[in-house]
Amino acid sequence: MELHTYEKEFFDLLKKISHYEEAVVLMHWDLRTGAPKNGAEDRAESIGQLSADIFNMKTSKRMKELLDALYEKFEELPEDTKKAAEWAKKDYEENSKIPEKEYKEYVVLSSKAETVWEDAKEQSDFSLFAPYLKQLIEYNKRFITYWGYEGHPYNTLLDLFEPGLTVDVLDELFSELKKAIIPLVKKVSASTNKPDTSFIHQSFSKKKQKDLSLYFLKELGYDFNGGRLDETVHPFATTINRGDVRVTTRFDENDFRTAIFGTIHECGHAIYEQNIDEALSGTNLSDGASMGIHESQSLFYENFIGRNENFWKTYYPKMKEASPEQFRHVALEEFVLAVNESKPSLIRVQADELTYPLHIIIRYEIEKAIFSNEVSVEELPALWNQKYEEYLGITPPNDAQGILQDVHWACGDFGYFPSYALGYMYAAQLKNKMLEDLPEFDTLVEKGEFQQIKEWLTEKVHVHGRRKKPLEIIKEATGEELNVRYLIEYLKNKYSNLYLS
């Protein structure tokens, strides 16, 4: 066959895989947004079967033959075909090393584990989830032996979410971040300049919060013709396909920040997916470059826009309109200080900008210990509590507010957490560069004119999908390698001004 015939069949196979993936993603979305619990067992089996089919297609004899044919004349291929072939080859080599039976068992286990995790969290009882977590860890350790690793075994898991990332690199970045942040957290905690946050915990109706969430999504540029907003236990954005990118949030009538900032955070994820080059639809390039790059977009929207004082100069009246009694005697300045409050807290998704990276570092260090065989599953709650006391000066009173707070381990997503902190570093570096190109950034935010900001991010990040690797995107967008200094400077400036001036 001629090269273009192999190329066409290759992309046809990728499209077929994407159709199956769409079904699985839709089932996962349903699972997390209120699917009946009685159907959990059968639903897990269905997800497992479809996932096994995807696995088989990615590791099929025909996929291998197509890749071999394409690589024979690799230099003659169009750039997008080269990139798609590289990703497909990576998938093939990773997946073909795992026995199909084990892979299917693992997918079924993780689907069941999510449902058990919800119950365990609700009852604040880690012992309910522990047997599932133990099995998930054992599977991942086996997978690492199949895949092989260089240096630390955790490197293999990191590479699944952030290609090219290693423990050595993270240890250096996180060491520098800890060195700067922990003393600042202590100074801020000791400061007498504390905002009044009592009004935050007054009743704010769920319906009004949902109305506001929908309003902010529209204002920021989220396309409702290609998405929707739903409620879930743990907020997320998910891509069914490029024209169907859904956002979820969680409502707390005694703390509006959970929904408002959670929605803005997920909006950043969704806008990224909605603006990937349409030409990549149905291919393995129609996705975010990495989890870290994805987090850079959600954190950019949540923190650099949503927590920006200039944003609230325009939008605070909408909050007052939605809950007039709550904000009647709260001036704009007081509101801004309160929503930027910094104090050690137990829950990552509710953490302020300053303490947030410490939550990620704690989880990273625990995961690294798990895959170094330094800690057993039974010892994890104690280790978790110990690190929260060491880094943040607080100890979780129960499992729900401690080790059970996040769904990621139930999904089997080990190696994922560092992406959150990397995303914060990426975001700060992108913001620094954006200010050179758009010095009127704060004015645009104050006016509620986000189009230029979105266009800049689309040009530098969104449109590329997986055509470029994370560090390549950062280097081309900012003109330099990843540099943690921009995040450190941002946090020092912001919280010194708020608390120490």
pLDDT tens digits, one per residue of 239-270: 999 999 999 999 999 999 999 999 999 999 99
pLDDT (average), residues 294-322: 97
pLDDT at 457: 98
pLDDT (average), residues 107-119: 93
Catalytic site residue 266?
yes
d(CA 219, CA 195): 28
Tens digit of pLDDT for each residue in 390-407?
999 999 999 999 999 999
Are 375 and 366 in contact by the 8 Å Cβ rule? The answer is: yes
pLDDT at 233: 85
Judge residue 38's burial from the number of C-beta atoms within 10 Å of its C-beta, 0-12 exposed, 13-18 middle, 19 or more buried: exposed
SS3 state at 143: helix
User: Which domains can be identified in the chain, with CATH numbers?
Assistant: 3-148 (no CATH), 167-500 (1.10.1370.30)
What tokens were used for 463? Answer: 């449109």
Arithmetic mean of pLDDT over the chain: 95
b/e burial code for range 440-449 (CB count within 10 A of at least 16 → b): ebbebbbeee
Nearby residues of 481 by Cβ (< 8 Å), 6 or more positions away: 471, 474, 475
d(CA 274, CA 281): 11
pLDDT at 41: 87
Give me the count of residues in the chain. Answer: 501
pLDDT at 232: 93
Q: What interhelical angle do 418-437 and 154-161 show, nearest 10?
A: 40
Kindly tell me if the per-residue pLDDT of 37 is higher than 90: no
Tens digit of pLDDT for each residue in 351-386?
899 999 999 999 999 999 999 999 999 999 999 999
With cut-offs at 50, 70 and 90, classify the pLDDT of residue 121: very high
Q: What interhelical angle do 3-32 and 100-123 show, nearest 10?
A: 20
Kindly tell me if the per-residue pLDDT of 428 is higher than 90: yes
Long-range contacts of 141-150 (CB under 8 A, 24+ apart): 141/371, 142/102, 143/98, 144/371, 146/97, 146/98, 147/94, 147/97
- Among candidate residues 86, 266, 273, 353, the one labeled active-site is 266
CA angle, residues 468, 469, 474, in degrees to nearest 5: 90
SS3 state at 325: helix
With cut-offs at 50, 70 and 90, classify the pLDDT of residue 131: very high
With cut-offs at 50, 70 and 90, classify the pLDDT of residue 447: very high
pLDDT at 1: 66
- Phi-psi map region of 336: left, alpha, beta (phi>0 left; psi -120 to 50 alpha): alpha
pLDDT (average), residues 166-193: 94
What tokens were used for 157? Answer: 């898991």
Tens digit of pLDDT for each residue in 53-73?
999 999 999 999 999 999 999
d(CA 243, CA 274): 7
